[in-house]
A = this chain, B = another copy of it.
């Protein structure tokens, strides 16, 4: 399939059907991704204000075979938002579709346009005394449409699920430019194929999400947070199982942290408060939210975990400020990682029971090859690890340029062997298309290609993302 540039003639012709100022030359921010690993090849930015304008744009692109790249907050980490080569695209930014259309606390439902910033979704829920639980590092910039298109994860997945689980309905423009009016508020609706979940996680390759019905929740009245020092990842998992027995489904976050992460924060971000002077080898950040008595629950858990030898030490936050400190530390680990400069990073997931063995085996393998520092941290409760490799002190990531790719392959191979995933929450984008080809189930890949061709016969929607063009 050969696509065409969004040429000056195409732009001129399209602009006649849109309000002035809808189309313009792309500023650099539309052509970069956060890690600076790929750059867009230009094109034109479209800034529609309504689903009808989105439809007009996509119809024109479909007719002229011009690529469309849906663009949310631009925070994706796998290059899904940046076309680097081939025909110059229309970069379809949803930023002007940024209204919260409805909040219905009685139904625990909100309707938000795709361009609403995630933080603003959370705030609108809070204003109605409700919780929208999707929460992640980039929430001040990421937009809900992008969160849904990539099925974003974050720190509350354990209790509330991924973006997919928080979505009841969608309004979307399919690759032909037709509008799907699917903003249902229904919790149950068994009337045909699940188009919603097909668009969620398709990373803009099957259509453009323009608005979504989102699930809200009661705000837990009592929240408590602790950092507990665990012997090793296996003990952390046993602590998780114990926590679930003690406090039921009230565990809302269970984050693994490694000493290297705290060291990196200490080295590069002196303003971030650490919970102790000597970072423990392994620790977990646990949060519990209930109707009442969360702190007591956490104290009981800590007592029992001490008794069972799962934890050596721990701190239960005694104030909102201390809670914020704990979370601030956790959230600055990726920032510190960036400052140190990783040799390679991996957003992997594993079956829970396989996780400790994987960590031990992989670390030994890497140690046998080169003296890297491994910062292995993340959403342990979901089996999701950010398994990132860093140069030893005094050396640069570039000293390891020649072994980077080989190390990643070894990691993904072992992940695959244990039944894990090479992309737990970041998606495939453009950076992991080859990994999907390598590790994906062939029958599923064939089905994906058939679906892509069926819904987007001209291949205009985010070409090169997820599936090789």
Q: Which A residues lie at the B interface, using CB under 8 A? A: 104, 106-109, 150-151, 153, 157, 162, 164-165, 174, 178-182, 184-195, 197-198, 200-202, 206, 217-218, 220, 237, 241, 244-249, 290-291, 349-353, 379, 382-384, 419-428, 432, 435-436, 439-448, 450-455, 466-467
Residues A424 and B190 in contact, CB atoms below 8 Å apart: yes
Residues B188 and A428 in contact, CB atoms below 8 Å apart: no
Report the bound CA distance from A350 to B108 in whole Å: 14
12 residue pairs of the A-B complex, CB under 8 angstroms, read A106-B353, A151-B190, A153-B190, A164-B194, A174-B447, A180-B441, A180-B447, A185-B419, A188-B424, A192-B444, A194-B198, A451-B451
A359 to chain B, nearest CB (A): 16
Report the bound CA distance from A189 to B426 in whole Å: 9
Residues A420 and B186 in contact, CB atoms below 8 Å apart: yes
A447 to chain B, nearest CB (A): 6
A65 to chain B, nearest CB (A): 18
Residues B107 and A353 in contact, CB atoms below 8 Å apart: yes
A222 to chain B, nearest CB (A): 10
Residues B384 and A419 in contact, CB atoms below 8 Å apart: no
A333 to chain B, nearest CB (A): 18
Choose from B186, B192, B423 the contact partner of A424 (Cβ within 8 Å). Answer: B186
A155 to chain B, nearest CB (A): 12
List residues of chain B with CB within 8 A of the CB of A202: 193-194
List residues of chain B with CB within 8 A of the CB of A291: 246-248
Choose from B192, B201, B349 the contact partner of A440 (Cβ within 8 Å). Answer: B192
Residues B186 and A349 in contact, CB atoms below 8 Å apart: yes
Residue of A181, A182, A186 contacting most chain B CB atoms (<10 Å):
A186
Pairs A-B, 4 closest by C-beta atoms:
A454-B454, A197-B197, A450-B454, A189-B421
List residues of chain B with CB within 8 A of the CB of A466: 192-193
Report the bound CA distance from A185 to B382 in whole Å: 10
If A157-B188, A353-B107 touch, does A201 touch B206 (CB 8 Å cutoff)?
A: no
Report the bound CA distance from A467 to B191 in whole Å: 10
Residues A188 and B454 in contact, CB atoms below 8 Å apart: no
Report the bound CA distance from A36 to B191 in whole Å: 22
Further 19 A-B residue pairs, CB within 8 A, beyond A218-B249, A247-B291: A104-B353, A108-B244, A165-B165, A174-B443, A178-B443, A181-B441, A182-B444, A185-B419, A187-B349, A189-B424, A190-B421, A192-B436, A192-B440, A193-B201, A193-B447, A195-B447, A197-B197, A450-B454, A453-B454
List residues of chain B with CB within 8 A of the CB of A189: 349, 421, 423-424
List residues of chain B with CB within 8 A of the CB of A165: 165
Choose from B190, B193, B352, B450 the contact partner of A150 (Cβ within 8 Å). Answer: B190
List residues of chain B with CB within 8 A of the CB of A435: 191
Choose from B179, B197, B290, B351 the contact partner of A107 (Cβ within 8 Å). Answer: B351
A242 to chain B, nearest CB (A): 11
Report the bound CA distance from A58 to B277 in whole Å: 64
Residue of A157, A189, A422, A452 contacting most chain B CB atoms (<10 Å):
A189
